[in-house]
Amino acid sequence: MKASKDYLLEALEKVEGKTDGEKAKALKIAGSTLSQYKSGKQQMDDFACIMVARVLGLDPMEIIAACQEEREKSEERREFWKDFRSSLGTKLAAVLTIGATTMMMPTPAQAAALTQMASSELCLLCLINYAESAASSTLPPVFLL
């Protein structure tokens, strides 16, 4: 699993600005605070986690949980956050799978149009088959139906 600093560095690559000061301003945090986050002297607060998540297009809880896991002094609580992060990833994968499946399903109107189109193609194939049969048969066309 990613460390909170990895999320921050990834976001800094994506955010506009050439200097750390400009990037901090884009994230709406102080330049000195960004410096503390980058050096590892301080963990991101929830606001910074949310801003980083927005830049990366992620669920903010993913980054907040990473920070919580890193700042916990109790091994028991660190394990809690580690387990929470693991379950969050599993739930997110399930939601994305369901979402993608749902997005690929046609609406009822689209399904009706596809059904009609398929039956038209079937009729067209029947006509082509009929024409081919008529061309190669010695029987009058009326007997081929």
Q: Over 60: is that where the pLDDT of 89 sits? A: yes
Could you tell me the residue ranges of all domains in the chain? 4-104, 108-144
Q: What is the pTM of this model?
A: 0.61
- Which pLDDT value is given to residue 104? 66
Residue 109 has pLDDT above 60, yes or no: yes
Q: What is the pLDDT of residue 123?
A: 61
The residue length of the chain stands at 145
Tell me, what's the pLDDT at 88? 82
Q: Which one, of 67, 53, 72, lies nearest residue 15 by Cα?
A: 53
Indicate the residue type of 47: F
Architecture of domain 4-104: Orthogonal Bundle (1.10)
CA dist 22 → 17, 32, 73 (Å): 5, 12, 33
pLDDT confidence of 66, banded at 50, 70, 90? Answer: very high
Poorest-pLDDT segment among 91-100, 107-116, 130-139: 91-100
- What's the mean per-residue pLDDT of the chain? 81
